[in-house]
Amino acid sequence: MQHLRHCHGFVRVSFLGTKRTQLLKDVAPAVTACAGPLSGHWQRRANSHGQSGRTHSVLSPRWRHLLAGLVAGSGAVLAYGLHNSQAERAAISIEPASQSSLPIYTQEEVSRHKSLDEGVWVTYRGSVYDITDFISVHPGGDKILLAAGGALEPFWALYAVHSQEHVLEILAEYKVGELNPEDLKKQQKVADSSDPYSTDPERHPALRVNSLKPFNAEPPPELLTDNYITPNALFFKRNHLPVPRVDPKTYKLEIEGLPRGPVSLTLNDLKTRFPKHTVTATLQCAGNRRSEMNTVKQVKGLNWGIAAISNATWSGARLRDVLYTAGYGPEVAAKARHVQFEGLDRDVTGTTYGASIPLGKAVSEVGDVLLAYEMNGEDLPLDHGYPVRVVVPGTVGARNVKWLGKIVVSEEESKSHWQQNDYKGFSPSTDWDTVDFKSAPAIQELPIQSAITQPAEGAMVDRSTEEVTVRGYAWSGGGREVVRVDVTVDGGKTWHIAQLQGSEKEQEPAASPPTGQAWAWKLFEVTVPLPAEAQELEIMCKAVDNSYNTQPDTVAPIWNLRGVLSNAWHRVKVKINEDSEE
């Protein structure tokens, strides 16, 4: 949050006319509902060189954080609230060069403005912008200086938020001229190759997209529980950065922090030097069911439904085996406390995705942490970390680092943004003005969870059937086994115990796993009589694990500003169709 402390410049957002105000209402109702007290002014002056000076009033810290939060996002999770259709709206609010009366600059002239002393100019779609005054309030910090004197497109392509209309309108206020047409043609020739997402893999069309760049999507709920093992194509996709293309022939996994010094392993080493271990484990995003928290009060993060969770069979080398072979022993155990993971996915600055888990989990004989190279009997798909990823059963998806490049045994947690300043839970009373990320532990094991996948919200149930069949999933973190799922259709007056499924339907029922090693979800199904006279039903479910943890009944008491750990009773409303043939 350091870079948000001086976001007073965002006052301009509130005074760019009715259209801007409406945009803000669309993006953040919670902010605009309180916009009345804001006051101030903004003036723009342009000198003969096209450079600009501005005067402005200062917002309170609370408003600086709230407005900056609209644009900031969390690291690469800047695609907040962005759906497929919205991502198509990039070509808006930027005046075509042919219609402008502003000066024309060559690329050479633009290139002279790449420092705060000389002014910071950039180009975007053929226009020239002096963003000098915006540097101090840029939510991404001084990373924007990487584009100084050149084109914004290669850098903005990393973060989908830049394609949203309100961001483009903010940029328009800094316009000082047009780019020479010949230089524009040169830029356009390399535009396609500059998109870091241009080599992302194809995805299944059934997936419901929450953001395109980086790509994040979930399967339709009605397909999610058709199979106990989620097909690779339908397994939810959670990317923070562009998908890297890693050559398996040259792949190297670096291991540091052990007495013998750094160790480097190839993909072939992992496959031939260590026993292959297979685990069926469910992965769940920390933000699964975040959309329900948004109905209480707007939160920051991707608007996940109930399907940011999936189940797969993973195969690879045990992390424990690899660490012991690399030199782990009592000497290391006496000092180290964490195992850090670093991915090969990186942003434009070279910053990679990273996370860490407790050392005890990493080296536990029953922790089942894998350096996985197979998913459901096949090589890992590109979206799921090819050629090697960490699979940490029972732990939040954010720690299951994909495209694994480095392991560090350390006394400290990962310094990654995603470990230190994201994926943490807070009180419902904590807001962006008071939040202290250092005060909360990083999420590791997730709480008990369940959700209804069928029937869908708003579905029609025929009265003539006299009953409704309810299906869904249930899972608990930390290896705790789900032992019961209760379903009600009468507001909780009566509860029906669902049948649990712990394997594919055609297989023999699975025996209970060893205590503490229940890594996979349970699917559930129950058929419930329709209440007489009812015209609408609210179906609710709640799960119980073998530690007798159960879900809270409502969302409001567990609401938090990042919308994580959403595990209240799941509720689905359906209507009863009274029409039937005699």
Structure tokens at 294: 């948004």
Structure tokens at 345: 């996915």
Closest by CA to 224, choosing from 305, 161, 287, 326, is: 305
List the catalytic residue out of 166, 174, 277, 285: 285
Please list the alpha-helical segments (H only) found in 51-127.
61-72, 84-87, 107-111
Cα separation, 562 vs 541, in Å, equals 24
Residue 200 to residues 194, 338, 404, 555: CA-CA distances in angstroms? 13, 32, 17, 36
7 is catalytic: no
Closest by CA to 34, choosing from 65, 3, 56, is: 65
Residue 167, judged by CB atoms within 10 A of its CB (0-12, 13-18, 19+), counts as buried
Q: Is 325 helix (H, G, I), strand (E, B) or coil?
A: helix
Cα separation, 99 vs 119, in Å, equals 26
Number of Cβ atoms within 10 Å of the Cβ of 2: 7
Between CA 158 and CA 165, with CA 163 as vertex, the angle to 5 degrees is 155
The alpha carbon dihedral of 78, 80, 83, 87 has a sign of negative
Cα separation, 439 vs 378, in Å, equals 41
List the catalytic residue out of 80, 124, 423, 473: 423
Contact yes or no for 239/381 (Cβ under 8 A)? no
Between CA 406 and CA 411, with CA 409 as vertex, the angle to 5 degrees is 135
384 is catalytic: no
List the catalytic residue out of 8, 12, 20, 162: 162
541 is catalytic: no
Contact yes or no for 221/306 (Cβ under 8 A)? yes
List the catalytic residue out of 125, 138, 417, 484: 138
At position 353, the amino acid (one-letter code) is Y
Would you mind telling me the total number of residues written for the chain in this entry?
A: 582
Cα separation, 529 vs 470, in Å, equals 11
Contact yes or no for 470/498 (Cβ under 8 A)? yes
Cα separation, 505 vs 368, in Å, equals 25
Identify whether 259 is preceded by a cis peptide bond (ω within 30 of 0).
no
Cα separation, 11 vs 35, in Å, equals 11
Closest by CA to 217, choosing from 232, 202, 235, 231, is: 235
Residue 190, judged by CB atoms within 10 A of its CB (0-12, 13-18, 19+), counts as exposed
Q: Which residues are catalytic?
A: 138, 162, 238, 285, 423
